[in-house]
């Protein structure tokens, strides 16, 4: 079975909100400013769940002139998302949407997807939950016709959720996983792919099981490790925490995530995460055994091998534009005063040095900061010399 043509591929007519929004936007553009590209997404998109992901999808589609309606169990949440411009509240007079995007917590995803398929039988339905196998298996167990359903997951987020944290560019250059099965028609698939492409996502295709194993490794395991590490800070003395530097901040950055949401995510993807945690625990135990008596024969080598494996692993993490290219970091000392960082970035541009990444750190108790700048290895030495010549202190 395939979706009804009018629900998936119809071109918006003269009275539809999308062209009206685009026309209105033309009056707001500055002279010479390029018009936004035409959206691939056709018809009205209805978003169920107006939190971070749902509101971000809405904001991004609205920038393309797509008509977006919003729904959420919380009247405050949906009103806030609408106030931020993520869409409008759906009314009883609205025609059926062409696409429904379910952006609800994982423990209710299957229920909401089933309701959307029954309420809008001519629409394509997708969800953006961070686990894919559990909802798919539950819907299959219930005997739901999934011809118009495609599971998907944009690999994007922020440490804190809610519509207030939503961004239209949240998905730009981020992987967007599509999980289709043998019954998914090309027409239905193209509707979901159009949204991902309009929002700047990079399309990937996986089975639900492949997806859940992958996110278990690159997202769910890091969350658990980060949270457990941060938990060790609770009983620590204030003086010790005052010594914290970039290493601790980097490794605990995601520990401030919402515990209630992560209980749902981890519960829905428990099997792959438990397998990964068992392997990680074995590595920690091996490291601790070697460190108990570093003087014993072979202990230092085991420690070095485990640390070296970490070097090899981090080298596989994609860098800028998804490449595996490695960069060299240079550290510049900057005064903790207005305009100093802007001056540094301006002078880097004048010197023709492309900054690949930037991280800031403040020195506790001192009016000074450290700007760690990633550059290509072949320009690092020149960058240090040129910056020193202009009076910058570098490490």
Which of 362, 346, 351 shows the shortest CA–CA distance to 389? 351
The closest of 87, 113, 94, 111 to 102, measured between CA atoms, is 113
Query: How far apart are alpha carbons 71 and 81 in whole angstroms?
Result: 10
CA 165 to chain centre: 12
* Residues contacting residue 314 through CB under 8 Å, at least 6 positions apart: none
Question: Residue 75, class by beta-carbon neighbours within 10 Å (0-12 exposed, 13-18 middle, 19+ buried)?
Answer: exposed
Task: Give the residues of the chain that fall short of pLDDT 70.
Answer: 1-36, 159, 319-326, 362-366
Whether the CB-CB separation of 364 and 336 falls below 8 Å is answered with no
- Best CA proximity match to 47, nearest among 90, 84, 102: 102
Helix extents (H) in the chain: 5-8, 17-28, 52-63, 75-83, 109-119, 133-141, 186-198, 208-215, 221-231, 238-241, 246-251, 259-268, 270-292, 299-314, 340-350, 377-389
Closest C-alpha to 48, from 14, 27, 74: 74
Q: Read off the pLDDT of residues 328-356 as tens digits, 9 standing for 90 and up.
A: 888 888 887 888 888 888 988 888 888 87
The number of beta carbons lying within 10 Å of the beta carbon of residue 316 is 7
Kindly report whether the global pTM for this prediction surpasses the value 0.85.
Answer: no
Q: How far apart are CA 271 and CA 133, in angstroms?
A: 11
pLDDT of 328 reads: 81
- Confidence (pLDDT) at 365: 59
Q: What does the pLDDT read at residue 353?
A: 86
The Cα–Cα gap between 270 and 221 comes to 11
Q: Is residue 122 within 8 Å of 97, Cβ to Cβ?
A: no
Going 185 to 186 to 188 to 192, the CA torsion angle's sign is positive
* Whole-number Å distance between alpha carbons of 142 and 321: 41
Q: Is 253 helix (H, G, I), strand (E, B) or coil?
A: helix
Determine the pLDDT at residue 31.
54
**Which three-class secondary structure state does DSSP give residue 391?**
coil
Please enumerate in sequence order all residues whose Cβ is within 8 A of that of 310, keeping only pairs 6 or more positions apart, or say none: none
**Which run of H or of E encompasses 71?**
strand 68-71
Torsion over CA: 198, 199, 205, 208 (sign): negative
How high is the pLDDT of residue 314? Answer: 85
pLDDT score recorded for residue 276:
97
Q: Give the pairing type, strands 357-362 and 368-375.
A: antiparallel
């Amino acid at each position: 079975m395939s979706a009804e043509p009018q629900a998936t591929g119809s071109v918006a007519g003269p009275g539809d909100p999308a062209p009206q929004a685009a026309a209105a936007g033309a009056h707001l553009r500055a002279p010479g400013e390029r018009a936004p590209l035409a959206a691939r997404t056709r018809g009205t998109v209805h978003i169920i769940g107006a939190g971070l992901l749902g509101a971000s999808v809405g904001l991004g589609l609205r920038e393309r002139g797509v008509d977006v309606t919003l729904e959420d169990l919380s009247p405050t949440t949906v009103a806030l998302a609408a106030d931020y411009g993520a869409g409008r509240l759906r009314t009883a007079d609205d025609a059926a949407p062409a696409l429904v995007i379910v952006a609800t917590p994982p423990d209710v995803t299957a229920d909401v997807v089933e309701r959307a398929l029954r309420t809008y039988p001519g629409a394509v339905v997708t969800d953006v939950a961070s686990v894919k196998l559990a909802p798919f298996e539950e819907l299959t167990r219930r005997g739901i016709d999934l011809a118009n359903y495609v599971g998907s997951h944009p690999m994007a987020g922020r440490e804190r959720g809610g519509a207030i944290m939503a961004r239209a560019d949240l998905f730009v250059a981020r992987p967007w996983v599509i999980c289709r099965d043998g019954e998914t028609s090309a027409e239905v698939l193209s509707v979901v792919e159009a949204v991902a492409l309009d929002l700047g996502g990079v399309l990937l295709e996986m089975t639900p099981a492949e997806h859940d194993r992958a996110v278990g490794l690159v997202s769910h395991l890091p969350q658990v490790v980060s949270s457990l590490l941060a938990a060790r800070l609770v009983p620590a003395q204030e003086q010790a925490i005052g010594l914290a530097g970039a290493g601790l901040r980097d490794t605990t950055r995601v520990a401030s995530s919402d515990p209630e949401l992560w209980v749902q995510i981890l519960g829905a993807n428990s099997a792959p995460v438990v397998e990964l945690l068992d392997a990680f625990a074995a590595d920690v135990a091996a490291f601790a055994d070697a460190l108990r008596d570093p003087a014993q024969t072979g202990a230092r080598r085991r420690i070095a091998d485990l640390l070296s494996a970490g070097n090899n692993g981090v080298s596989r993490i994609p860098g800028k534009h998804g490449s595996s290219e490695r960069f060299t970091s240079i550290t510049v000392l900057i005064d903790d005063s207005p305009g100093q960082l802007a001056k540094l970035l301006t002078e880097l541009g004048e010197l023709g040095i492309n900054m690949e990444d930037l991280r800031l750190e403040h020195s506790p108790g001192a009016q000074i900061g450290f700007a760690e700048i990633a550059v290509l290895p072949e320009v690092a030495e020149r960058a240090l010399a040129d910056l020193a010549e202009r009076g910058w202190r570098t490490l």
